Chain A
Amino acid sequence: GAVVSQHPSRVICKSGTSVKIECRSLDFQATTMFWYRQFPKQSLMLMATSNEGSKATYEQGVEKDKFLINHASLTLSTLTVTSAHPEDSSFYICSAPAGGLGDTQYFGPGTRLTVL
């Protein structure tokens, strides 16, 4: 199946710093990618839809100035958590539809962000 990678897999940072997370589709192109956030023992919450060459679409309640998304190419989307605070600590997962039957989405392995 299609492969999606994320980098870094784990990051610990101090409060007030910014953190960039990369999501790459390794063997297919993705004009759209999705960013999710997952709290422990909870489901995935869609944060935003990343669109190649245009602005991201944010879900209700997600601060676009806090979570900057850039879809620079057909294989790369980045999520930058600006001025991170402890409440931003979470598991961030991206996904990309690989097209084809079922328009199935393939997920990255996730990035564990801990803000001290």
Chain B
Amino acid sequence: GEDVEQSLFLSVREGDSSVINCTYTDSSSTYLYWYKQEPGAGLQLLTYIFSNMDMKQDQRLTVLLNKKDKHLSLRIADTQTGDSAIYFCAETLYNQGGKLIFGQGTELSVKP
């Protein structure tokens, strides 16, 4: 079945790198996404990766995809207090009309 899992909490110090991990079960994933949600707000798309890619880098964000292990990670370099939020990974499956399947979300806390 479709299942996306994330660890619930991560705490880092300002300036350190953060790595948020996600695992998924369905091998028919087409795209995998990372969204950021601040309190009381909607979801902001951070980045996405096509399922046949291994890595994607966009400024401070690096996405790594290990398709064999069905493991996705998001690395945030030089983490700032403004990065404190909940981060959701999500996948879309082939031929599902764009329906997103979300993980539980990882709450990132950045301490000064």
Using a CB–CB distance below 8 Å, which chain A residues touch chain B? 1, 4, 6, 32, 34, 42-44, 46, 49, 93, 95, 97, 102-110, 112
Other 5 A-B pairs with CB < 8 A, given A42-B105, A102-B33, A109-B41: A44-B88, A93-B42, A104-B48, A107-B35, A107-B43
Seen from chain B, the residues whose Cβ lies within 8 Å of a Cβ on chain A are 31, 33, 35, 40-45, 48, 50, 88, 92, 97-100, 102-105
Residues of chain A within 8 A of B92, CB atoms compared: 103
Q: Which of B31, B43, B105 contacts A103 (CB 8 A)?
A: B31
Cα A109 to Cα B42 with chains together (Å)? 4
22 A-B pairs in the complex with CB atoms less than 8 angstroms apart: A6-B42, A32-B98, A34-B99, A42-B104, A42-B105, A43-B103, A44-B43, A44-B88, A46-B100, A49-B97, A93-B42, A93-B43, A97-B98, A102-B50, A103-B31, A103-B92, A105-B100, A106-B45, A107-B35, A107-B43, A107-B45, A109-B41
